[in-house]
Amino acid sequence: MISLYGHPFSSYTWKAEIALHSCGIEYRLRQVDPGHPDNTAFVAEHGGPFAKFPVLEEEDGTIVFEASSIIEHLVATRPDAAHLIPADRALEIRNLDRVFDNYVMNVMNVAVLEQLRAPDAPDTARQDEVRAQLRRVYAWLEPKADALGRDPLTMADCAAAPALFYADWVEEIGPACPDLKALRERLNAMPEVRACIDAAYPFRQLFPLGAPDRD
Ligand SMILES: N[C@@H](CCC(=O)N[C@@H](CS)C(=O)NCC(=O)O)C(=O)O
C-alpha cells in the first residue's frame, strides 16, 4: 500500500489526502511526530531541503515530496486521477493551486508561526498585517469561488479546502465574501475533506492561536 508521511493536523498533509480520497486510493498515513522517529527520519531524508511533509512513498519505491507534486504524480500515473487537473482547465487549476498555497496557506502560517515564536508576546502588528493580507486575498478569490469546490474535486480544491479551513480561524471570512464563505462550507461538507477534519479533531488544541468552537 502507498505510504503518506504527514500528520492529521497538517494542512499540506490534508491537501494530499483529499486528492488520494477523491481518487479512491488507499494509503497508510505514517504519522510524523516525536512518537514515530522512523517516520521523522524518513521525512528528514526525503522531505526536500527543509524536510517538510507530506511525502508520498509508492510500493515501487518512488518518493515524491511537495503536496502539489504529489498530486501531479497521481495525475501522471493513474487514469482515475485525471479529474484533479482537467486538461481544459489545467492552467487555471495550477494557477489557483499556487494562489491558495502562496497567498492563503503560507500567509496564514506567518501569524501561526509568530504565535509559536513568542506565545506570551507575539508581534501583534505582524499578525494584524497577516489578517489584512487575508482579507485582500479573500476579496480577490470572491468572484472565482462559486466555480470551485464542485464534484469532482480538482487540485485547486485540494489546496483550497485546508487553506480556507485554517485561514478562517485566523481571519474569519466576512459578509463581504459570501461566495467564498459558501465555498469553504461546501468543501468542508465533502466526504474527502470531512475525513480530514474529523481525523484532525483530537489535535485542535494544538492550534497556536486557539481553535474556535465551530467546524
Ligand atoms: N510547500 C510544502 C509545504 C509543506 C509544509 O509546510 N509542511 C508542514 C506541515 S503542514 C511541515 O512540514 N511542518 C514541519 C516543519 O516545518 O518542520 C508542500 O506544499 O508540501
Closest by CA position to 74, among listed 149, 30, 159, 16 = 16
d(CA 130, CA 14): 22
pLDDT cut 70: percent of the chain above it: 100
Residue 200, phi then psi, degrees to nearest 5: -85, -15
Is 52 close to ligand 1, i.e. is its CB under 6 Å away? Answer: yes
Residue with CA at minimum distance from ligand 1 atom 20: 66
Q: Which CATH architecture has domain 85-190?
A: Up-down Bundle (1.20)
pLDDT digits (tens, 9 = 90+) for 120-147: 999 999 999 999 999 999 999 999 999 9
Residue to mutate, 53, 104, 116, 165, ligand 1, most ligand atoms under 8 Å from C-beta: 53
Closest residue by Cα to atom 5, ligand 1, is 52
pLDDT in tens, 15-63: 999 999 999 999 999 999 999 999 999 999 999 999 999 999 999 999 9
Distance 69 CA to ligand 1 centre (A): 13
| 46 Cβ closer than 6 Å to some ligand 1 atom | no
Most ligand 1 atoms within 8 A of CB, residue of 18, 29, 32, 52 to mutate: 52
Question: Is the C-beta atom of 42 inside 6 A of ligand 1?
Answer: no
Confidence band of 198 (pLDDT split at 50, 70, 90): very high
* Residues contacting residue 115 through CB under 8 Å, at least 6 positions apart: 122, 127, 208, 209
**Regarding the domain delimited by 2-83, which CATH topology (the fold level of the hierarchy) does it fall under?**
Glutaredoxin (3.40.30)
Task: Please give the pLDDT value at position 57.
Answer: 98
Domain ranges for the chain, please list them: 2-83, 85-190
**Taking the mean position of all CA atoms in its chain, how far away is CA 111?**
16
CA distance 138 to 140: 5
pLDDT band at residue 66, thresholds of 50, 70 and 90?
very high
